[in-house]
Amino acid sequence: MRMILCVTFFDTAEAYGPFENEKLVGEALAPIRDEVVIATKFGFQDGDASKTQDSRLEHIRKVCEASLKSLRTDRIDLFYQHRVDQNVRIEDVAGTVKDLIAEGKVLNFGMSEAGVQTIRRAHAVQPVDALQSEYSLWWREPEQEILPTLEELGIGFVPFSSLGKGFLTGAIDETTRFTEGDNRNTVPRFSEKNRKANHALVEEIGRIATAKGVTRAQIALAWLLHRKPFIVPIPGTTKLHRLEENFGAAAVELTSADMDAIQSVLARIDIAGERYNAFAQARIDR
């Protein structure tokens, strides 16, 4: 008998597809709408992540209405700015979402890949409820400024790429060939040379996982869950058995000794390669 997955938080965006993922999520969740939380995003021209950012105020409203329709719902539980638009004042963006909240179309305001000062400026206009940015065992930059700021302001953290785009599971090595169109083909961290260098981290995670009787993926997710109580990772997958594996991470107990052992591993291993190509890197707010 297959286990029942009690997942209640679903993350999507107009840019996923584009648009198609929102429609699928809306169709699937319509029968249980009041039992789940749905997050979606605005912020790209024509909903296309390959184009420029677009957080013009009229565009935010347009995206909101389109997302409500695609998701078959009367409210968006969490509405993220997908990427910071340097051409639109963040105070104006926050003010527009604040108006949408007042109208009942949006319940909570989120940001993605935003820097500390931008978060503070937005938060002063409309409290930011969640930040979605990359964070994992092989990308820990948020620990420097982001996590302390979120903790100070009472903002939740939703890490994406929490399994290192699959690398931390151990399923990828220097011999792996990605299919055409897979964005990992353009990511420096996934070059053959860097994958070979970074495999040392996967091996160490594997040793810890074996000792605990769990998988590498479960260790990577459990580590995030144990880092801070306000962290909610969103691992992506295309396979049901991987979804079940990921969900099992919630039951993995990591003691303080386990966390110290992982920290010791992280302290002695340097990760090779940038996490984004130059085009994507230019979009990151600092």
What positions carry a catalytic annotation? Answer: 16
State the Cα torsion 164-167-169-173 to the nearest 10°.
-170
131: closest CA among 158, 106, 152?
158
Please give the Cα distance from 246 to 1 (Å, whole number): 18
Residue with the two structure tokens 């993922």: 21
Please give the Cα distance from 111 to 127 (Å, whole number): 11
**Would you call 23 exposed, middle or buried from its count of C-beta atoms within 10 A (0-12, 13-18, 19+)?**
middle
Distances (CA, A) of 207 to 197, 214, 219, 255, 268: 17, 10, 10, 16, 15
Please give the Cα distance from 223 to 252 (Å, whole number): 9
Please give the Cα distance from 274 to 281 (Å, whole number): 9
Phi, psi of 194 (to 5 degrees): -75, -35
